[in-house]
Each structure stands twice: as structure tokens, then as C-alpha cells.
Amino acid sequence: MKPLIAAALGLALLWGCSAQQPARDDSLYQALGQRAGIQKIVEGMLLNIARDPRIVEHFRKIDIARLRDKLVEQFCVEAGGPCVYTGDSMAESHKGQHLTRSDFNALVEDLIKAMEAQNVPVPAQNRLLARLAPMRGEVIEK
């Protein structure tokens, strides 16, 4: 009886180990140039914001290096990459800033310019924007 139990356990282990996990869709992550590409996009966006009189004031007292790092993490996660976001929630990090729809739209325009500068295909741009869009409600007028 013991050999039969051992064989059954062995088969169960073998079967469990060979079962494949569902593949993660990282096609957007790839289209954005993986982590290095995402970092270039974020840095370009931050440079665009620095030159954007519509919203630059919102970033004057921000630790830009930390913001860059957290945005890279967040974009990487949203794109299906192998990252973990370690920052605050959008609601928490924008609390008390009273950002308007116009502020949000200006930031999106600066992001699009950064993606265009990195030659990110328009379909990939749209996919990233669609994944980020739900955050709008957590950011504006808070």
C-alpha cells in the first residue's frame, strides 16, 4: 500500500509542477521598450512638465527623483511588466492638491509628447493611456 501512496503523491507533485501558469500579457511592456523605455518616457514627461507653464507649479515642491521612480514602477505594472508599485495610492498622493481636469489633461499631453519622442507606436500609446485613465477620478479635484 505504501508504494501505491508514494506513487500517487509523486504523480500529483509532478502534475502540479508541470501545470503552467497563465501567461502574463506583457506586450504593452515590450512595446514601450521594457523598463529602460518606460524610464525614458517618464523622464521625458517630467522634462515636458518642467517646461509646461500650465502645471509646473504643482511639481515645485515634489521630490522629482522619487516621483520618477514611482512613475516608472507604476507604468511598468500597468503595462504588464515584472514590477511592483511601492508608492502611495493615487488618492493619497494627490490629496489636497485640488487638481483640475485641465491639469490632468495637460499632464496627459506631456506624457503623449514623451511617448512620441520615444517613437512609441500610437496603438501602444493608446493602450497605456487606457490603463492609466481610471486613475483620473482619484486625482482630480481632491
Q: What confidence tens digit (pLDDT) does each residue in 49-106 have?
A: 999 999 999 999 999 999 999 999 999 999 999 999 998 888 888 887 889 999 999 9
Are residues 52 and 110 in contact, defined by beta-carbon separation less than 8 angstroms?
A: yes
Q: What is the pLDDT of residue 142?
A: 60
Task: Label residue 58 exposed, middle or buried (CB < 10 Å: 0-12, 13-18, 19+).
Answer: middle
Choices 2.60.120.620, 3.10.560.10, 1.10.490.10, 3.30.70.2200: CATH for 24-137: 1.10.490.10
pLDDT digits (tens, 9 = 90+) for 24-39: 689 999 999 999 999 9
pTM: 0.81
CA 132 to chain CA mean position, Å: 8
Secondary structure class of 28 (helix, strand, coil): helix
The closest of 133, 104, 107, 129 to 31, measured between CA atoms, is: 129
- Please tell me the least confidently modeled range out of 8-22, 68-82, 99-113, 128-142: 8-22
